[in-house]
Chain A
């Protein structure tokens, strides 16, 4: 190891262990947070079933891609899971629409206090969903990614750049970032430019006036669930490709996802995305051990002996929580003013 100050290698190190992981984790959170935001804006409740729904969608992908692999319906080097998404989406849409029909629709009809009833009902749905997933796939962790693991590996990067510190760009990271950009662009185009998307915004903005304008509430709700299915399935699959699939892990994603939504300002799509990256970067920056990074940057005499890790990795969920608490204390509306008090 050199004893001079080496900014390029330090930066490569940071890219490999902080920036790329945080970008892809942030993208996964953002997709989940957007699903929560959609449900919140249209159906007016915080969907506690989001984490387990993501597990459900991922389960469908695992089952379908497993079947496809067994039949040899694969593309060399490409994760079969991604190819399985369209079919899984069909299943997920049916599942969510069925849940809406069986559970949530009733409370819309009787005009219940939607947030409080919706939370309770979604907790019920969360258990049903989580139970089904665990029954079918078991509770233990598994990996389901196949295909090429890297766009370029550490070794290839080092050979190409001659740097001492390598950067690996995982296929899952590449897919996550690409798909997230595409999906977000699609969502914003849909909401801003299409008639149906505008109708959804109108419905979210002023439900009564939307009805007076002849907007069909059932259709708005249906489309919302379809979008939720899309975002949920893809978010879950990407997270699983990146970090493996474990139902409990997915369940707990609820915390960072809600933190993202609230930090960004509940009900605001842009806020959800900003919040997701804030949470992801905080989580990874605070749990990263900076020892090697500092060794690159500091003269030999100042090299640290400890890991220089601010918070143990085991407490990463605490970080979302602390961010949440800080936001509630300082600016309860979130970054992009959301709705702070119940009822309207």
Chain B
């Protein structure tokens, strides 16, 4: 029995999780269950990226939300239609400003390599910066003035949204390369703090630069890779399909009741269908990533990675090699997080910069990886499902708990309202506690890594 459990642990855990989700589907609603599944899948992809960094190389990324936000930005930049009026008005100026900025930085780096006097370089960079800033703020002003209530930004390239997933990964990879280049090879906490810093800055830029992706005004109505619910409801084959599925029940009703009922069913089914389409898409991407990363990790490259992680003596002998390899891993993991970030915005259909709460969601991903078993990709997926489920359900559960209390209290006291208002913050406490408990009592997680060398 015990060995049966050990051998089939992963399967059993996933089966239990599936049962719980089916239970939610039957008792609450299928749309809710699928919503949880879809978010879990996106989280799983993110967790996979973090697992590659943390589980396989011990690299701490505390800025997951920043990289995810870069993915989100790419959706806006790639898939939105360009705002031609804004582009005509300020696009060129902005282009010049950005070129100037880039030129300043390049000149700084180039002159530094040439060994020119530091103060001279500093002066050049400062002057370049001032010019850039002057042009830049003028351009930003012009762009932001173009119909600010609806646009006020440059828009995107109007390309198919699927491109944005790749580009999202690429942008995140670029940022990761830069951060990694500076901090890898130094102390672990330098990377951790630098990722925290870069992610805060990315979010500040996104929130404050309205000309870029509209800042706090959000970007609505992003295109979709799957059909719209309304279109589904109106398509004949879909109506027929639903009618056929529910034929047993519908037959018993009168003509008018039949039509009414069917409309209801079709509306519900359309929502479920769209969510299912997303599920299919996310599963495909997740599976592809898992297969690829497993292939990579069992390649000679992956063996070397694990050797470096598990054997410090061998690792220190490799010296410079480690840094390069860590950089590869860090970039790779961040790219996956970027893709997941793009998928998240694709799924939401809106880009809301304030929804990237680094504090919460970066941390959730961490708990997922550690709960699942760092180093084990399937563990990360499992962890994503469990933690997202708990996160979603602990809100209602907390409220339910408070209501229980309120039934016992004689009067609706003011302290109770207060608790209802604040109860969702307890989720932070709850998640923090889960993390600490796993670290303490089951450091290798639910599904420990198999090929760890002792």
- List the interface of chain A (C-beta within 8 A of B): 45-46, 48, 102-103, 106, 115-117, 119-121, 123-132, 134-136, 138-139, 248, 251-252, 254-255, 258-259, 262, 266, 310, 312, 314-315, 317-318, 320-321, 324-325, 328-329, 332, 339-342
Asked whether, in the complex, the Cβ of A258 is within 8 Å of the Cβ of B193, the reply is yes
- B residues in contact with A131, CB < 8 Å: 425-430, 432
Tell whether, in the assembled complex, residue B439 and residue A341 are in contact, meaning their CB atoms are under 8 Å apart.
Answer: no
B183, B425, B431 pick with most chain A CB within 10 angstroms: B425
A339 touches B187 (CB 8 A): yes
* Known pairs A127-B363, A127-B435, A317-B201; A328 contacts B60 (CB<8 A): no
Residues from chain A with Cβ under 8 Å of B197 in the complex = 255, 259, 317, 320-321, 324
Instruction: Given the known inter-chain contacts A255-B196, A317-B197, please indicate yes or no for A119 contacting B432, CB distance below 8 A.
Output: no
Closest 3 CB pairs of A and B: A131-B428, A127-B432, A131-B429
Kindly supply a per-residue 1/0 record for chain B positions 184-204, scoring 1 wherever the CB is within 8 Å of any chain A CB and 0 otherwise: 001111101110111011001
Q: Mark B69-102, 1 if CB is under 8 A from A, else 0.
A: 0000000000000000000000000000000000
B432 touches A124 (CB 8 A): yes
Given the known inter-chain contacts A134-B422, A135-B422, please indicate yes or no for A324 contacting B193, CB distance below 8 A.
yes
CA distance A46 to B186 in the complex (A): 14
Given A317-B197, A325-B182, A121 and B204 contact (CB-CB distance below 8 Å): no
Instruction: Determine if B366 is an interface residue (Cβ-Cβ < 8 Å).
Output: yes
Given A135-B425, A329-B182, residue A46 in contact with residue B204 (CB < 8 A): no
Number of interface residues of B (CB under 8 A): 43
CB-defined contacts of A115 to chain B, threshold 8 Å: 187-189
CA gap between A295 and B436 in the complex, in Å: 56
Q: Tally A-B pairs: CB < 8 A.
A: 133
In the assembled complex, the Cα of A341 lies from the Cα of B425 at a distance in Å of: 37
18 contacts between A and B (CB under 8 A): A46-B193, A102-B436, A119-B189, A124-B436, A125-B432, A127-B435, A128-B428, A128-B429, A136-B422, A255-B196, A259-B197, A314-B207, A314-B208, A321-B201, A324-B193, A325-B194, A328-B183, A332-B190
Is there an interface contact between A125 and B436, defined as CB atoms closer than 8 Å? yes
Residues of B within 8 A of A129 (CB): 432
Q: Which one, B186, B427, B440, contacts A341 given CB within 8 A? A: B186
Q: Is B397 an interface residue (CB 8 A)?
A: no
Per-residue CB proximity of B383-415 to A under 8 Å, as 1/0? Answer: 000000000000000000000000000000000
CA gap between A328 and B192 in the complex, in Å: 13
Contact B429 A127 (CB under 8 A): yes
A324 touches B194 (CB 8 A): yes
What distance in Å separates the Cβ of B62 from its nearest Cβ neighbour in chain A? 7
Instruction: Report chain B residues within 8 Å CB of A258.
Output: 189, 193
With A252-B200, A255-B197, A328-B186 in contact, do A130 and B366 touch (Cβ < 8 Å)? Answer: no
Q: Is B182 within 8 A of A314, CB to CB?
A: no
Q: How far is the CA of A134 from the CA of B188 in the complex (A)?
A: 29
Check if B359 is an interface residue, CB within 8 A of chain A: yes
Contact B187 A341 (CB under 8 A): yes
- A123 contacts which chain B residues (CB < 8 A)? 62, 363, 366, 435
